Structures are given as C-alpha cells and as structure tokens.
Amino acid sequence: MRAAALQLSSGAEKERNLATAERLVRAAADDGACLVLLPEKWLALGGPEVLRQAAEPLGGETTEWARSIAAELHIDLIAGSMTEFVQGEEKLRNTSIHVGPDGEVKAVYRKIHMFDVEIEGRVYRESDLEQAGSEIVLSELSNGVAVGMSICYDLRFPELYRILALRGAEVIVVPAAFTLPTTRDHWEVLLRARAIEDAVFIIAANEVGEHPGGLRSGGRSMIVDPWGVVLAQAADREGFIVADLDLAQLRSIRASLPALANRVQSAYDWQACDLSKERG
C-alpha cells in the first residue's frame, strides 16, 4: 500500500492553499499513492481572525472538494484538518475528515488535545478559539486497513495512540503544524516512539515555513514504519513524500515482538491511584 504525506506552507488565502493542495494531491496519486494525507489547517493557517474567516461547516465547499477529488482519483484522502464552524457553538473545532474512493465521508475526528503551551517565550492558547473534541476515532481504508486519526499536539499523548492500536489501527495519521522549535527537537523522536511502541505505521504531514501572525512550522513530514525506521522525510519546502507500507512486515513485528499482547492491564489501573498526592 503506497501512502503519501503532503507538506504545505499554508497562509490566509484559501484559494491559493486549495490550489496547492489539489496540485500535490494529484501528483501524489500519479505517483501511485492510494492513501493521501494533508497537514493541519491546510486550508488556512494564521491568527484567530484568519481561522475564523476560513471556518466552514462540515459539508461545505472544502468537504465537497475532498469528496470530489477522492472519487475522481480513487484514493483514500484524509484531509488534514480545517477549522470547522458548528452551528450554535461560539468556538470552532479543529476537524479532520476521511473520504474514501467512493467520495463518501468515512470518519470525522475533532482534535482532542488543545495546544495551550508556552514555547521559547511565546504563548499558544488554542482553547481560546477552539473547542476540544472528545471522541477517539478509528476509520477504515478501502482495502480494509484500520487507520487511527489524530492531529498535531495529540502526538504527545501516548494513551491515545495506544487505544487506537488496541482497537486495531495498523496506520495512524498525524496532520500537523508543529512549531519550528518543537519540530527541531521533538518531532522525529515522538513520531518514531509512537510507531515503535504501538507497532504501527505513522504518516505525518507537517506544515512548513512562515504563516500569518508570526507562526512558523518546521516541516520534515515523515512516514515511519513499525520498527521505527523513517521510510521518507520531506525537504524544507512544499511538496509530498511517498512510501510503500508493508503490512506483512507490521504483522511480523507484532508476532515476534508482541508488546501489545504482553501488556499487563491490571497494572495500569489509574483510577485506583491518587495522582493528586505527592510521592515521597
């Protein structure tokens, strides 16, 4: 199974971003990719005003574009994420959709973990603008392979990836807009760790370069195999990477190094632990 991760330098102009995404999706499909992943907020990336102006409801123009191109190219398209406007809600959602080769929406995932942090003196408060999702989402590709859905900051929460793997995921996607410093120091380590510990393929599509509002993303989109080997890595520019995912290799690794099967669930009863108490 050949998969592709697109790397974009998205800005405030939706038409430009959409045109770039379409060109690269087509190029990846021409290169044989049957699964294509876009990065986080590929349709528009910038400050709160940019995101509000770009927000759309599910079923809007961008959803219809994703359905149309997936059907035309006969691919599974995971359209990164976009800012979703939900009727009756003040806050937006950071939402990813999976569209199958038949043009139908197979799954919708809303980012669970909000990026509320301080990095190198800059404060990010994603929760000021966006409402966190609450549902863990496992979808299925047209070839029957289970794919787990996540977005960017979710990568730092291994519990999510473990649950997806235990539910059957063999591929987990990570559309992202990782900051430049965290891409430099953490991105590859985290991607390879999630792949190794859950024996899954990780497909990670990152934004790259400068965006409105002084935002900077670090690129280095990657595809990682279940042994932690980086199969493909993007250069520091817009483009796409492809790799062939050997599912037989994945199942062989799970059989010979059965870490998922060797878990001791009874030892992980967090509810029995009083995490508020300091331990001596």
Catalytic positions, written as ranges: 40, 111, 152
- Based on its alpha-carbon atoms, the radius of gyration of the chain, rounded to whole angstroms, reads 18
Query: Which residues touch 94 (CB under 8 Å, ≥6 apart)?
Result: 40, 41, 81, 83, 84, 110, 111, 126, 130, 133, 151
Is the Cβ–Cβ distance between 217 and 11 less than 8 Å? Answer: no
Contacts of 140 (CB under 8 A, 6+ apart): 106, 146, 147
Q: Are strands 215-218 and 222-224 parallel, antiparallel or unpaired?
A: unpaired
What distance in Å separates the CA atoms of residue 93 and residue 95, rounded to the nearest whole number?
Answer: 6
Q: Where are the alpha helices (DSSP H) in 35-98?
A: 48-54, 61-73
CA distances from 24 to 7, 65, 222 (A): 9, 14, 16
Question: Residue 21 CA to chain centroid, in angstroms?
Answer: 16
3-state secondary structure of 120: coil
| Phi and psi angles of residue 179, each rounded to the nearest 5 degrees, phi first | -60, 160
**The tokens of 202 are what?**
């990780």
